[in-house]
A and B are shown apart, each in its own frame.
Chain A
């Protein structure tokens, strides 16, 4: 597959002259996704589930068909196990409030990894404080990985909820979630998998993983901003109380009481982001057409090249595991003695977009003993030329600063 051909699907690369290496934050959108949204508004726009007229029924069909598409995409057993949300953060808040608050008792434990994004961390602090449960962390070793010993030490018989990111948005470490889930189940805990950084790059099979809940956002996998997904096992979702209350999530509403709609509507209050759902459907079509094998093949070649070239820069500190097979397509780094914001500004002035900061992972940064990093994150439309531009811009940054650096 020719990457230059693939790049032509992305209008932003025709309209700008940037080297986009911030795919961990959000990906660019292919014309197929943009067109699908356009088509919805031009031909089918109505409020799903509301009207008895043809157009609303048509809109409902598109909305619900995408739910079935998402279910198939991640191999969920039942379509109603797919709940649409605003983003990964909202999916996780739903779980914290509708599952965590009701299922944790004093002195029971929530176990997270130290590499969780704030969205899979801050809500659990609230749950822990409210319920009296304890919040414990699985820490990483010097290879930026969670060891078996750490898993078995931290997940105990007291653990009721384990929250784990499939791939770290800072380190790119791929966690063995299948192993963690198996062990957690043995201990009697349920597991929430944050697949935000993995689903753009690799096939997710919720039944094979045996994940109890799995969440992701659409915009990191070619879909529009503002659409997220929560997958949950049907028996768990059925037992949970609704998160947001309002229209469309009810059966009968009386003056003092209400009965709630069955899944999935129980968790989808109010008019939904239909264009987001349609765009997500088109994004899934795009990924499936290209194929995860091709995506991984392209990314491996480019990311391997990036790691090789970045390793050659002796002024650079890299935060990646040496086990290449456990590493995805996110590379965090710092130029020794130069603050990442300054590096990112100089990169930006050379047309190279990277993220700098704490990447919504302050506890991880503190654990690593740093304030922030620069992060280059790749997707299948990135090329070796993009890597060359990054290296060239890094050399410029280093040369601008080197006579002032005192480490």
Chain B
């Protein structure tokens, strides 16, 4: 049986249970709800853009440790990046979870979000890890 301590590691646990990114933005540019109806996980993601820069992000909602931590760590990773850089990071993260991208150098740009690498070994939880990333991918593609 698989040891899950590499998935439920310190970083992921901290972000899932006590995230400083779980708050409201006063002046969000875009806001969108992402949900997995099958498991009831639901997040509201807010982005504040400043020109081409993703200046601030926040989330609210509820879900499992993996979906909550993934949302929070995504926010840390994307904050301050340009929209183009953001899109590239999102693509890389989704590729990592789907095991389409395994090159360590390529994964470096994910910063802390690399902590979710082992979720790729848990097919039942892939959609938990991807909830926020698919939501923001949609926001940046359709609303910017």
Contact = CB atoms under 8 A, between A and B. Distances in A.
Contact of A349 (B2, B38, B40): B2
Most buried by B among A340, A341, A348, A400: A341
A404 to B, nearest CB: 4
A338 B65 contact: yes
A358 B18 CA distance: 25
B3 A349 contact: yes
Contact of A339 (B1, B63, B124): B63
B13 A401 contact: yes
B105 to A, nearest CB: 30
Interface in A323-357: 338-342, 345-346, 348-351, 356-357
A346 B14 CA distance: 18
B125 A345 contact: yes
Given A342-B65, A372-B40, A400 B5 contact: yes
A15 interface: no
A404 B72 CA distance: 15
Nearest to A343: B64
Contacts of B14: 404
Contacts of A351: 1
A345 B62 contact: no
Contacts of B64: 339-342
Interface string B115-144: 000000010110010000000000000000
A346 B4 CA distance: 7
Interface in A369-407: 371-372, 400-401, 404-406
A359 B122 CA distance: 21
A365 interface: yes
Nearest to A341: B64
A356 B128 CA distance: 13
B1 A341 contact: no
Contacts of A349: 1-4
B1 A406 contact: no
Contacts of A406: 17-18
Interface residues of A, number: 23
Given A349-B2, A404-B17, A357 B125 contact: no
B142 to A, nearest CB: 27
Nearest to A357: B39
Contacts of B40: 357-358, 362, 365, 371-372
Interface string A182-209: 0000000000000000000000000000
B4 A345 contact: yes
Given A349-B2, A357-B40, A341 B125 contact: yes
A339 B69 CA distance: 12
Given A341-B125, A405-B17, A406-B17, A350 B62 contact: no
Contacts of A372: 39-40
Contacts of B17: 404-406
A349 to B, nearest CB: 5
Interface in A114-154: none
Interface in A233-253: none
B72 to A, nearest CB: 13
B8 A400 contact: yes
Contacts of A342: 8, 64-66
A54 B131 CA distance: 57
B16 interface: yes
Nearest to A404: B17
Interface in B1-42: 1-5, 7-8, 13-14, 16-18, 38-41
A359 to B, nearest CB: 11
Given A339-B64, A371-B40, A404-B17, A345 B1 contact: no
B122 A345 contact: yes
30 contacts: A338-B65, A341-B39, A341-B128, A342-B65, A345-B4, A345-B7, A345-B124, A345-B125, A346-B4, A348-B124, A349-B1, A349-B2, A349-B3, A350-B1, A356-B39, A357-B38, A362-B40, A365-B40, A371-B40, A371-B41, A372-B40, A400-B4, A400-B8, A401-B8, A401-B13, A404-B14, A404-B16, A404-B18, A406-B17, A406-B18
Interface of A: 338-342, 345-346, 348-351, 356-358, 362, 365, 371-372, 400-401, 404-406
* CB-CB nearest 5 A-B residue pairs: A371-B40, A339-B64, A341-B64, A404-B17, A404-B13
Given A357-B38, A371-B62, A405-B17, 20 more contacts: A339-B63, A339-B64, A341-B64, A345-B122, A345-B124, A345-B125, A346-B4, A346-B8, A349-B1, A349-B3, A356-B39, A357-B39, A358-B38, A358-B40, A372-B39, A372-B40, A400-B5, A401-B8, A404-B13, A406-B18
